Amino acid sequence: GIMRAFQGTSPSLIGDMWLAAGLPAEGPGAPGSADVGTLSTSDWRALWEQWQVWLDRLHSGSFAASSDDELTRYSVVWDADSIPHLARTHDSVLHLLDAYYAEMQSEERHARLHQQLLSAVQSLHKKVCSKIRTFEAQLLDVSKVEAVQKTADMITANIYRIPPGASEVECEDWDTGEVVKLALDSTKTAVEISKDMYKRARKLRRASDAVSPLLDAAFEELEYIEQVLDSLQQLKSRTGPEDEKALMEVQEELVSGGYMKPPPDAALAAKAASKARKANARASKRGDKAGVAGDGSSGLRSFVSPGGYQVLVGRNNKQNDVLSHAVAQPEDLWFHIRGRPGSHVALRVGSKPGSPNTRPGIGDEDVQYAADLAAFFSKGRQDLKCDVIVAKAGGLKKPKGAKPGQVLVTKELGNVVARPENVASLVGKAQPDDK
């Protein structure tokens, strides 16, 4: 009735006025409800007082710009003192608008960069798969080397029986004892034919020696690219500035690896990265491990296990490296989905408040929780169950020449059967680790 009786009112305004008056947001008497007869005289008085607050704001031109933390609800009339969810205060209406549109621009920028990176990595994935198929086809030809060698041996053993210009010869197969018929090039002598076949056999062996390591390297590259694809899948939606930063780290990683051309502002980014590396080097010389980890640990996803222990999850390969080799302590438990791309996860055994003598210790529910997170933040997030590796962080090594995010587990503590769906509802509640 208020919106029909007064111009300049809206459902949003009346809703905020209702909340500021301390009236119910839902149920009888709520905005939009036909049953307002349940409101008491004191309720109507509280509503009238908030109506006066609105009018005073309009007459004086003094507004209270406020919003919730996500900028999904905002007001220029009431603040957190009147409406608790409007916890974020802005200096002015202009600052509120700046923050609102800056958030929209950040989301659009994140979406554009994500699509750019995704297209580039998908193209890389396609090229590497094509390369693997080519190498495998070459190795299939190589597998014929024994047959070529055997045919050459059989022709050599029967040279005395092959007349010039013969197009075929019947020989005994030494392995089966059966008589086989071999086709010959009638334009060549038996000696020339056997010589050519021995030469082909040697060429196939050399090809095998050359192609096998190339195929192994291609499979390693495919594993790395699939890890990057999984990181991009996790960063599809922007939930905060940490996601945007993680996406830019993926871009830097691809550029430094030669997989992408540098962006136009690469010079400025390289300068900032150089300063960060120098700062970390100085911190390392002082023996300040926290300083070294600070380059990436601030963006890690952070959760709390049922037993109260901190669980950290990397958002990309760079953060996985920092988490596994700089942030995690030797006794921390480390988790990763078995045999598939996924984030590194660390259960920090020393993160629960209290003295070491009063801690009950990490329980099975804490281990299961961390394993479920490792399964969710991986390529197996849609599976009902996944196998997850458990190891101590002190048993991790970075192989020489390994790509970002790759690690060698020297000793496993065991395997946990994880269920990604157990933590799916908690993922949106992750907090960045600012320590």
**pLDDT tens for residues 72-84?**
777 888 877 788 7
CA distances in angstroms from 293 to 231, 252, 274, 280, 406, listed in the order given:
20, 18, 16, 8, 17
* Secondary element (H or E) of residue 391: strand 386-392
Q: List the Cα angle 27/28/30 in 5-degree steps.
A: 70
pLDDT band at 380 (very low <50, low <70, confident <90, very high): very high
pLDDT at 83: 81
Alpha-carbon distance of 322 to 393, in angstroms, equals 12
Q: Is pLDDT larger for residue 294 or for residue 43?
A: 43
Q: Is 196 exposed, middle or buried (0-12, 13-18, 19+ CB in 10 A)?
A: middle
Q: Is 333 exposed, middle or buried (0-12, 13-18, 19+ CB in 10 A)?
A: buried
pLDDT in tens, 318-348: 999 999 999 999 999 999 999 999 999 999 9
Mean pLDDT of the chain: 82
What is the mean pLDDT of the segment spanning 107-117?
91
How much of the chain, in percent, has pLDDT values that exceed 70? Answer: 82
Alpha-carbon distance of 205 to 45, in angstroms, equals 94
Q: Is 34 exposed, middle or buried (0-12, 13-18, 19+ CB in 10 A)?
A: exposed
pLDDT band at 357 (very low <50, low <70, confident <90, very high): very low
pLDDT at 276 over 70: no
Contacts of 181 (CB under 8 A, 6+ apart): 168, 169, 170
Contacts of 74 (CB under 8 A, 6+ apart): 65, 66, 67, 68, 86, 96, 100
Contacts 24+ apart (CB under 8 A), 164-173: 164/189, 166/190
pLDDT band at 281 (very low <50, low <70, confident <90, very high): low
Neighbouring C-beta atoms of residue 391, cutoff 10 Å = 19
What is the mean pLDDT of the segment spanning 351-370?
72
Q: Is pLDDT larger for residue 289 or for residue 113?
A: 113
pLDDT at 104: 80
What is the mean pLDDT of the segment spanning 114-130?
94
Which residue, among 94, 77, 98, has the nearest Cα to 86 in the 3D structure? 77
pLDDT band at 5 (very low <50, low <70, confident <90, very high): low
pTM of the model: 0.63
pLDDT at 289 over 50: no
Alpha-carbon distance of 145 to 151, in angstroms, equals 10
User: Of the ranges 124-138, 267-281, 385-399, which one carries the lowest mean pLDDT score?
Assistant: 267-281
Alpha-carbon distance of 242 to 249, in angstroms, equals 10
